[in-house]
Chains A and B, each alone.
Chain A
Amino acid sequence: MQYLTLGLGSIEQGLIYAILALGVFVSLRVLDIPDLTVDGSFVTGAAVSVMFTQLQEPLGGGILFPVLSLIMAFLAGAITGIITGLLHTRLKVPALLAGILTMTGLYSINLIIMGDKPTVSINGMNNIFTPFMDMVGSDAVSRKLAIIPVILVVLLITTLALVWFLRTQKGMALRATGDNEEMVKASSINADNMKVLGLAVANGIVALSGAVLAQDQNFADAKSGVGTVVVGIASIIIGETIFGKRSIINNIVSAILGAIVYRIFISIVLQLGLPASYFKLLSALIVVIAICVQVTGEKIARKKVRRANKKC
């Protein structure tokens, strides 16, 4: 029973971080920009979500505000991405630094959104899961079984919207910008605007995952953002290593599955007795190891090609 709860718990977390992975995928893989805004925009999403959810206290409205809060979080995240994008493209600040600047500024902004409190709780209020929780028993397993489908729906909508977007003319221009910027300019596309758009979409999705996590945990924590981007990158790289990266759809599915595998792995390691304080170190190490595996894999593949070429 305990293991079932734990297993369901890591799937629940994995699905939330799968949304994060989709956002990081857009900046890291589609645009080819390692965007550190994520550590801030993730919390922005959580902060906006809890503050908006709190509006039900004076106004009522059932789960209207919790659901709307997800959209608000997406929009707020998109704005943070636009700020990084403008710093990068208009002021020519290197992408890494632009992300760091926005992330640092967001630390204050997030506190301001949360009314200068380090944590804000929405315990006891309606959240996006409430109607489904009411349908099941109050034991841990039933609760998880009510929560997981809701997260799945958010993840599914995000995935479908992203796949659709990346196949539109705009989305195609976005992918090309990360692939060959010169070629994009030669096709009379403003590559700078594409970068801003891409960072907006990326951080919108990141903020959405922060919002879903806040709904799940019933609170937002201003300090919870540290290392979020590493979690996103870890999910993507693990996914690519295990599930491949042959096409855009394959890439997206890999990122989602990678996030879930990562969560399961983390919970196993913690279960084996590793103190929780090692958690961030572990995340960073996983990224390093996954990159090692990827690099070695590519080397072996290249050697194979070379050998095959020699035979011809």
Chain B
Amino acid sequence: MLTLENIYLTFNPNTANEKVALNGVSLQLEKGDFVTVIGSNGAGKSTMLNAVAGTYMTDSGKISLDGEDITNMPNHKRAKHMGRLFQDPLKGTAPNMTIEENLALSYGRGTRRGFGIGVRKSDEKFYKETLSRLGLGLEDRLKTKVGLLSGGQRQALTLLMATIVTPKLLLLDEHTAALDPVTAKKVMDLTNSIVAENNITTLMVTHNISDALNTGNKTILMSGGKIVLVLEGEERKNMTVEKLMKLYSDTANDAFSDKMIL
């Protein structure tokens, strides 16, 4: 489904600020895989997702999606097949446009935008139904500007937008980290049900170790721009939050002491 082969990515090459963010990352996701990604700050988790989405082009290596080589495809073209959420709830929606306009924009993903009317009356019922599953009452506020919604509401809306046209791949980068615990749980539950319902292949970065173990079917641990641990099957079943926490902080300390030596 998604294959990363030996990806390297360096920021500010040949300058004093040179930073190797991805240092030979290889990863294989099968159709329907839900992979959670953990790792300390600066491990390269976001950069890996950015490389997959095409926000940054890689220095070397190969990325393919569903058998198609997308290594050099610009990000708006990759977006046809990918839904994406960030930590910042403001990133995924257009604040000065209404809820229905935002939905209509994402509903057109992968199609050519022509001179047809932007928000079709015939789609309104569908938008309302889709919104009502959030349980936030947004279905009655189609004409409300998104900028007036709370962070949690916006993130929930972004999740709907990212999946309104079922993507081949869903990229989630700590998408509940900026929300209060109750809202975070709600958005996480919603994520699980949408992903399960549509069998969407998903890559989710999280700082919550128990979320990482309890959601999805695989967990990877990143450190220093590398994938240092892949947990799946029996090994993952037998893993506890405490043990994983220990592994996690060991790699974090390694990365830290590496820096100290430098």
A170 CA / B111 CA spacing, docked (Å): 11
A165 CA / B117 CA spacing, docked (Å): 9
Please judge, given known A-B contacts A185-B75, A186-B84, A187-B106, whether A168 and B117 are in contact too, CB under 8 Å: yes
Q: Binding site of B, secondary structure by majority: helix, strand, loop or mixed? A: loop
Among B177-203, those with CB < 8 Å from A are: none
In the complex, are the beta carbons of B94 and A175 less than 8 A apart? yes
Contact of A108 with B by CB under 8 A: no
Count of B interface residues, CB-CB < 8 Å = 32
Please judge, given known A-B contacts A187-B108, A188-B76, A189-B76, whether A180 and B94 are in contact too, CB under 8 Å: yes
Residue of A nearest to B74 (CB): A190
A167 CA / B119 CA spacing, docked (Å): 8
Among B78-114, those with CB < 8 Å from A are: 79-80, 83-84, 91-97, 101-102, 104-106, 108-110, 113-114
In the complex, are the beta carbons of A173 and B105 less than 8 A apart? yes
In the complex, are the beta carbons of B113 and A173 less than 8 A apart? yes
Residue of A nearest to B95 (CB): A179
Complex partner residue of B118 from A169, A184, A185, CB under 8 angstroms: A169
In the complex, are the beta carbons of B76 and A176 less than 8 A apart? no
Among A183-224, those with CB < 8 Å from B are: 183-191
- Rounded to whole Å, the gap between the CB of A141 and the closest CB of chain B is 42
Contact of B115 with A by CB under 8 A: yes
Contact of B116 with A by CB under 8 A: yes
A187 CA / B102 CA spacing, docked (Å): 10
| Contact residues in A for B77 (Cβ distance below 8 Å) | 188
In the complex, are the beta carbons of B96 and A188 less than 8 A apart? no
In the complex, are the beta carbons of A183 and B93 less than 8 A apart? yes
Please judge, given known A-B contacts A175-B97, A187-B105, whether A167 and B79 are in contact too, CB under 8 Å: no
A179 CA / B95 CA spacing, docked (Å): 7
A169 CA / B109 CA spacing, docked (Å): 11
A191 CA / B94 CA spacing, docked (Å): 13
Among A12-60, those with CB < 8 Å from B are: none
Among B205-248, those with CB < 8 Å from A are: none
A183 CA / B104 CA spacing, docked (Å): 13
| Contact residues in A for B92 (Cβ distance below 8 Å) | 182-183, 186
In the complex, are the beta carbons of B117 and A167 less than 8 A apart? yes
Among A49-96, those with CB < 8 Å from B are: none
**Interface residues on chain A, size class:** 20 to 34
Residue of A nearest to B80 (CB): A188
A165 CA / B118 CA spacing, docked (Å): 9
| Contact residues in A for B101 (Cβ distance below 8 Å) | 172, 175-176
In the complex, are the beta carbons of B113 and A182 less than 8 A apart? no
| Contact residues in B for A187 (Cβ distance below 8 Å) | 79, 105-106, 108-109, 161
| Contact residues in B for A173 (Cβ distance below 8 Å) | 105, 113
Contact of A225 with B by CB under 8 A: no
Complex partner residue of A179 from B96, B104, B119, CB under 8 angstroms: B96
In the complex, are the beta carbons of A180 and B80 less than 8 A apart? no
Contact of A7 with B by CB under 8 A: no
| Contact residues in B for A190 (Cβ distance below 8 Å) | 74, 76
Contact of A227 with B by CB under 8 A: no
A172 CA / B107 CA spacing, docked (Å): 12
| Contact residues in A for B162 (Cβ distance below 8 Å) | 186
In the complex, are the beta carbons of B93 and A189 less than 8 A apart? no
Residue of B nearest to A179 (CB): B94
In the complex, are the beta carbons of A172 and B96 less than 8 A apart? no
In the complex, are the beta carbons of A183 and B118 less than 8 A apart? no
In the complex, are the beta carbons of A176 and B113 less than 8 A apart? no
Complex partner residue of B113 from A169, A179, A185, A186, CB under 8 angstroms: A169
A187 CA / B160 CA spacing, docked (Å): 12
In the complex, are the beta carbons of A182 and B91 less than 8 A apart? yes
In the complex, are the beta carbons of A168 and B116 less than 8 A apart? yes
- Rounded to whole Å, the gap between the CB of A249 and the closest CB of chain B is 12
In the assembled complex, 19 residue pairs joining A and B whose CB atoms fall closer than 8 Å, in A order, are A165-B115, A168-B114, A168-B117, A169-B104, A169-B118, A172-B118, A173-B113, A176-B97, A179-B94, A182-B92, A183-B92, A184-B94, A185-B79, A187-B79, A187-B108, A188-B76, A188-B77, A188-B80, A188-B110
With A176-B97, A185-B75 given, can you name 12 additional A-B contacts, CB distance below 8 Å? A167-B118, A168-B117, A170-B113, A172-B97, A172-B118, A173-B105, A176-B101, A180-B93, A183-B94, A184-B94, A189-B113, A190-B76
Q: Which residues of A contact B (CB under 8 A)?
A: 165, 167-173, 175-176, 179-180, 182-191
